[in-house]
Amino acid sequence: MAERIPRDQSLSRIYGAGALFSAGYGNVGSSIYYALGVTAAFALGLTPVAFLIAGLIFICTAASYAEATVMYPEAGGSSSFARHAFNEAVSFIAAWGQMLNYMITVAISAYFVPHYLAVFWAPLGEAPGDIIGGAVLIVGLALLNIRGSQESARLNTVLAVTDLGTQVILVAIGLFLVLSPEILVSNVQLGVAPTWPDFALGVAVGMIAYTGIETISNMSEEARDAAKSVPQGVALVVIAVLALYLLIPIVALSAMPVFQSADGTYVTELGTTFADDPILGIVENLGLSGGLTDILRVYVGVLAAVILVIATNAGMIGVSRLSYSMGQYRQLPEVIRQIHPRYRTPYIAISVFAVLAILTLIPGQAEFLATLYSFGAMLSFTIAHGSVIWLRKKYPDAERSWKPPLNFSVRGVSVPLTAVVGGMGTMTAWFVVMALNPVTLAVGTIWVLFGIVVYYLYRKYQRLPLSQTVKVVLPEPLGVEEIEYRSVLVAFPADQPFSEDMITTATRLTSRRRRAIHLVALLTVPSSQPIDSPMVESEALAQRKIEEARLMVGMRVSGRVERVRPGEEGYFLAKQARKSKAEAIVIGMRRRRGVPVYGQTLETVLRERPCRVIVVSEGNEDSNSTAVGARSNDLRPVVEDYGS
């Protein structure tokens, strides 16, 4: 018996500026727990200046994200901006850079969790305890995300506010107890401590403290009044992090000044002893009484670990959402975006990128993780700035509900100064990271080239243009109600293009448990030939379509090629539906100039109607010019439900 399931709902627009701020700050604010120590290792006494410069570039980046997100309130961030501004190939490069960001977010956040939990057990603060602990965390969160577990938005808000309050308290105590302008001045010897190359690298690495602005962009589809709430949420994040990321390094370097080591190099305990847990280093050097210091160490250690676990999980969720989105836009092979038949999550993508995150974690080098993170982030940010500038030229009259100040005109085109300055800053940081870190350059280049090769080969295999947007469009809700069936029969001619809409419709009709989907590819044999005459090419094409459906849905799909005589297709399907006790038949219908064409097969099935019949039709299309498995992005499927 068929079972009722709820009608599919679009994303609810429920998030205001406060919710967007807490989500954005929860991701950006977590970065200070590892970015401070890594940046101080390079910038030494100029760490506050490095964060200030990085912060100014972050303001420009946030402005570009706000303008483009308000213009296109959809998930994807820089990848979405590049798609509208340039083409699908540039969008893929931005998305591939984001994928590296998410992967390193998972690795670097998981790596630092054990270091903060070392307040309870010291071996977690050194190798191999930190690496093993981080790897176990990644595996655990990957399994949770495969099962579909998601972080609580309300809990994240509470933790973000708690984290913000804790950092404000630490800054207030530090300013009162340890702030010393004399020490801050003596920490700096221009050109020596730090050297100019190290300072430039410190600025580039310091930018990882401000990454996470993609979070607000990805939540924009669920934002209430995006034109107002998105810029407000971005502005609140900018104000909070700029103030704290300037004051926290000042307090830290007052408590842990720069000194010359035995080998003549200049160092600070912030970038050496406490490089892996810099906020705990601040706590231990505030000069508080022993008992109060111990209590504060435990509190900060637990809070930091929890915030970093959430950041790790956010990276996992980002990987799953981004990989599925890239699959929807035909940027990655179907196998990557394959959905788990039970949990409805992209389990292969989560598993693959969890393994890659663990591999980057194994060396246990925080500096390598930080610079590789900067490589991917600066690449994505630079593309985002370029997209905003090009959108101004490409769509000068398009509605822009929010624009940053300080715009100037170039050949009649209004250009935002923030995008120009931000783009130059992120591009410069990207080149600095590559020039001063050969290992990061090699790994980052391999990552980008590998992605480009995969994209090129996949597009060529699917016979898709490299630069054209081709999106897999899911069907609209099935009329007034949706019903779940135990078994669905999907029928299609073996000699016509494969329709993903029919498969996605069948999947939604059998989505809740392990229901059966039976594919029948009808191979019509002319009456002049024996029914079993060789038709190798046609059978191979039909079998390929069945395999594509299995990639989309999983092992719930069974399929076979059936031979029929001309005019008998509809009767054969009705007979098969009765024989297999199918509760619904999903069948396609062609359209010409928007007018439905009821072929003989469809008319026969509707007349016989052995069970419920779901008819899926698409907009105008030329089946001879559409590649197998592809569809134009302006086609919208039409789903009609004919009762049994």
- What is the distance between the alpha carbons of residues 24 and 237, in angstroms, rounded to a whole number? 7
Burial of residue 12 (CB within 10 Å: 0-12, 13-18, 19+) is exposed
- What is the distance between the alpha carbons of residues 32 and 208, in angstroms, rounded to a whole number? 9
Q: Does one domain contain both 416 and 530?
A: no
The pLDDT of residue 311 is 82
Whether 254 is covered by a domain: the verdict is: no
Q: Which tokens in the block code for residue 168? A: 């404000």
Q: Does one domain contain both 72 and 207?
A: yes
Q: Does one domain contain both 129 and 268?
A: yes
Residue 383: name the closest of 411, 418, 419, 429 by CA.
419
Q: Which of 93-97, 118-122, 346-350, 553-557 has the lowest mean pLDDT?
A: 553-557
Q: Which tokens in the block code for residue 511? A: 């989505």
Examine the fold and report which residue of 440, 457, 474 is the final residue of a domain before the chain moves on. 457
Q: Which of 37-46, 271-280, 352-361, 634-643 has the lowest mean pLDDT?
A: 634-643
Three-class SS state of 194: coil
For the chain, give the percent of residues with pLDDT over 90. 20
Whether 181 is covered by a domain: the verdict is: no
Whether 498 is covered by a domain: the verdict is: yes
The pLDDT of residue 212 is 67
Strand spans (E) along 461-605: 482-484, 487-493, 516-524, 557-564, 584-592, 595-597
Q: Does one domain contain both 241 and 204?
A: yes
**pLDDT of 510 higher than 90:** no
Three-class SS state of 316: helix
Burial of residue 454 (CB within 10 Å: 0-12, 13-18, 19+) is middle
| Model confidence band, residue 116 (pLDDT cutoffs 50, 70, 90) | very high
**209 Cβ partners below 8 Å, 6+ apart?**
28, 31, 32, 35, 36, 39, 51, 54, 241, 245
Whether 372 is covered by a domain: the verdict is: yes
Q: Does one domain contain both 605 and 513?
A: yes
In the numeric block, the tokens 């998601």 are attached to 150
Global pTM reads 0.69
**pLDDT of 557 higher than 50:** yes
Q: Does one domain contain both 453 and 541?
A: no
Examine the fold and report which residue of 457, 473, 498 is the final residue of a domain before the chain moves on. 457
* Of 424 and 127, more confident: 424
The pLDDT of residue 635 is 35
Residue 176 near residue 289 (C-beta atoms within 8 A): no
Instruction: Tell me which residue range forms the domain holding 125.
Output: 11-153+196-245+259-275+303-457
Whether 284 is covered by a domain: the verdict is: no
Residue 352: name the closest of 366, 337, 365 by CA.
337
Whether 281 is covered by a domain: the verdict is: no
Q: Does one domain contain both 520 and 394?
A: no
Whether 514 is covered by a domain: the verdict is: yes
**Tens-digit pLDDT profile for residues 532-556:** 888 888 888 878 777 777 666 655 6
**pLDDT of 513 higher than 60:** no
Residue 570 sits in a domain whose CATH number is 3.40.50.620
- What is the distance between the alpha carbons of residues 201 and 207, in angstroms, rounded to a whole number? 10
Q: Does one domain contain both 398 and 492?
A: no
**Bridging pattern class, strands 584-592 and 487-493:** parallel
**Encoded amino acid at 276, one letter:** D
**Tens-digit pLDDT profile for residues 250-264:** 999 999 999 988 888
Q: Does one domain contain both 530 and 578?
A: yes
**Tens-digit pLDDT profile for residues 287-335:** 887 788 889 889 988 888 888 888 888 788 777 778 777 877 888 887 7
Residue 472 near residue 608 (C-beta atoms within 8 A): no
**Tens-digit pLDDT profile for residues 224-246:** 666 677 777 778 888 888 888 88
- What is the distance between the alpha carbons of residues 69 and 227, in angstroms, rounded to a whole number? 9
- What is the distance between the alpha carbons of residues 157 and 563, in angstroms, rounded to a whole number? 60
Residue 67 sits in a domain whose CATH number is 1.20.1740.10
How many domains does the structure of the chain reveal?
A: 2
Q: Does one domain contain both 452 and 378?
A: yes
**Tens-digit pLDDT profile for residues 243-253:** 888 899 999 99
Q: Which tokens in the block code for residue 9? A: 């709902």
Q: Which tokens in the block code for residue 69? A: 């997100």
In the numeric block, the tokens 């009705």 are attached to 574
The pLDDT of residue 554 is 59
* Of 464 and 195, more confident: 195
Whether 476 is covered by a domain: the verdict is: no
DSSP notation for 213-231: THHHHHTGGGBTTHHHHHH
First to last CA, the chain: 13
Distances (CA, A) of 510 to 5, 432, 474, 586: 10, 52, 15, 12
| Model confidence band, residue 155 (pLDDT cutoffs 50, 70, 90) | low
The pLDDT of residue 433 is 86
**pLDDT of 522 higher than 80:** yes
Q: Does one domain contain both 310 and 398?
A: yes
Q: Does one domain contain both 139 and 269?
A: yes
Sign of CA dihedral 310, 316, 319, 324: negative
- What is the distance between the alpha carbons of residues 414 and 417, in angstroms, rounded to a whole number? 9
